Amino acid sequence: MESEPKRGRGLFDGWSKSSLKSLLEGCSWQWALQRIGGLEGGSTPHSAAGTGLHAAIEWHEQCRIDGLPTPDEAELILAAYHEATLDGGNIPPNLAAIHGGPEQAAQWAAELTHTWYHSDVREKMLTYTPIAVERHYEVGVYTDKPTLRGYLDWIGRDEGGVVTVVDYKSAADTRRWTDADKHLVEAAVYLYLASTDEAFENEPVRMEWHVVPRRGEPTILRGPTMNPDLAYFTIQQVSAAQAIMDAAAYKTNPSWNLCSERWCNFYHGCQVSGQLSPDEIQFPTPAEAPLPPSPPDGTGG
């Protein structure tokens, strides 16, 4: 596993797939509360179960990279259960009361891992050659600063030797995973990052999602191959998100399907009491924000 540090709340240091989707397709106000304001959005058993599944598959694939025997099903299920339980500790009480807490997350993670282990999706993966799991990329887009960053679940070569980015997805079912065009931001960002890798210079790089549902059979959704139009689309997305941030033009999005007390930990404060609404909180633009504290003597800066 790559050891690059994950980003913390209340610290903006570059655009990611999730940030772009939150600002441009979801609720930019929710994003600002977390990434600028530093508030805890919390997890859900659905996302915690996905964390568990990711941990199991990552371990499986890292063993293949290292030339070691892959863990058996019981070991993978135990790893998924453990990681989901840990992440489930971040589920806020109000969301746990609706969806379930760490125990639910761990149960789902174990079931998802069992499903994946016995699926055609895993059998297909075994015909691919892994190069890295959770590889971290940071690249400039329209400035010389690292403006786009992310972790790729899996990157390697398919059975034909083509460089392939695989993103694992857990889901209730596969209905959302039938049309790659509906996940274009995700594909564009991941392919843009992978295409900057000197190891793959001048090679085609393509995208796949490996979807493991709680109901039904796992499936593979094949996405696009990196091309100039996708590169331009990525730059447009980053530019649009940066414009929102530069103007501090964050807005609530009540029509978003996740704007609900079932899914958003800020819903009551934002939509009911108003304590977390734009009427009560004003975020500064980057030009207005105070400079970070100077580093201690001798540390540079």
Closest of 226, 230, 227, 223 to residue 166, by C-alpha: 223
The answer to whether residues 153 and 127 touch, using CB atoms and an 8 Å cutoff, is: no
Neighbouring C-beta atoms of residue 56, cutoff 10 Å: 29
Q: Which pair of structure tokens corresponds to residue 287?
A: 């030009």
Mean pLDDT, each 10-residue run in order, the chain (301 residues): 40 86 94 90 94 98 98 98 97 95 98 98 98 94 78 97 98 96 96 95 96 97 97 94 92 94 93 94 76 43 36
The per-residue pLDDT for 292 is: 45
The helix (H) or strand (E) run that includes residue 16 is: none
Q: 2 by DSSP, 3-state: which?
A: coil
Which residue, chain included where needed, has tokens 């001798």? Answer: 298
What string of DSSP letters covers 47-78? HHHHHHHHHHHHHHHHHHHHTPPPP-HHHHHH
- Exposed/middle/buried for residue 86 (C-beta within 10 Å: 0-12, 13-18, 19+): middle
What string of DSSP letters covers 96-142? HHHH--HHHHHHHHHHHHHHHHTSHHHHHHTTSEEEEEEEEEEE-SS
Q: Which residues of 255-285 are buried (b: 16+ CB within 10 A; e: fewer)?
A: eeeebeeebbbbbebbbeeeebeeeebebee
The per-residue pLDDT for 11 is: 65
The per-residue pLDDT for 14 is: 86
Q: Which pair of structure tokens corresponds to residue 105?
A: 């997350």
Q: Which pair of structure tokens corresponds to residue 24?
A: 């441009």
